Structure 1
């Protein structure tokens, strides 16, 4: 089964590998070139901001654009183009019956495919993340590892495995390739975005630091800004402006308003996940996505046992 699975999916594995390993090679070449021509302070500033970096400005601008567009959805694309077709092609062409009539159980048929393709995805995405970590490392401690959280080990490989597993489930449910690919993309975003926006910042209770306290110590992940009133209430900026009677333009504010809040006795508080929690957050995040991946494969197995195809 392993050899058959490889023969069936080797082109898509090669394509995914070319993309992930191509990015990894680019990170290494870019990082090596920058290390050779920039001093430590310039290197940290360029990796963090990517502005006014001489010959590296255009490459860093491209990388920053990719970090806000393509790279975050790579796991979703892996699910759509490798996960969803894994079973739907065989379902549409009815070739799965050949394996089942050769004494191969449904579970063995499924798991042999999942372990080979999922393992390849895990290894390739781990190489991608390791290369990016090496590229980003000179920016620490001026910048926090949290600034590159979603690209790093082990969270990114776990997210890729989840995207793949969700694609397998979507293809099994729909039994049609294009519909399965679309459902995989939509389902990934529907689960991924809430984890990133709402769950991830609260894996542990954040520390509350004043601005001076934060900038006098190691960098971390600032999840939220609030204002503490003289009475001890914690308010967002607009609540604080209303409570203090400071006039401001609708849905906007500037340094003048924040200065007036300070004069009125309001203290700006930063809710921070310190850098020392980075690895804890990485492993918790990876665990969340691996549990979701396992649930997707378990549900796929249940559908196969029910002869849903």
Structure 2
């Protein structure tokens, strides 16, 4: 019974909503076989694309999700990243409103939708001739995820988040005080996603930061994802099998990294107030 419940929990974590038509996409080229090096008594490390990643020994089998939904999610994130790249410099005040506003609140979604609407020619997911209202253009988790990654690179390129941070009583107290009012706006399923991701980042903070900064769909990304799930499997109820949509997993982990980092730095936002 534990296996079935846990798989359901993982399904909640890795499933994202995307209003994007399926399209053909080329698979990322597979990198060379990673070099395995002997680690300490707790396990091994592998060297992937020049970076060391721990190999976590766990009975949990990790399987990458397949099917149309997974492809849609990957395409949606690709389009979102193209959109953000097309924008160039983004107004920090707008970014703060989108990334630090209460999730699912109308004002937060409107801010994101307005950014899309003003630059709709940059977004491959929307037609300039469409009659979508502004708010409906602001509910994409993929656009938000791409904006968050832009903000991390722009405003916290040297971000370091450690277990000492995420297990510090003062940091956790600040975290809870900040997130309690924000989480009132999360939908039940969204909150479940967020709750699992928060737990995983708490248990594997350094690897989580590296995951969000790693190339999408790369071997390094896949190995970091496996290590995070291995370390944080308790967050899922220690299932025997985990089916993961790498795209949605990356977005939820990124959101959790952002929230933990703000609490660790004791700031209202990682984005400084505009002058």
Structure 2 length normalisation: TM-score? 0.24
Which has the larger share of helix? Answer: 1
Structure 1 length normalisation: TM-score? 0.22
**Larger RCO, structures 1/2 (Cα 8 Å, 6+ apart):** 2
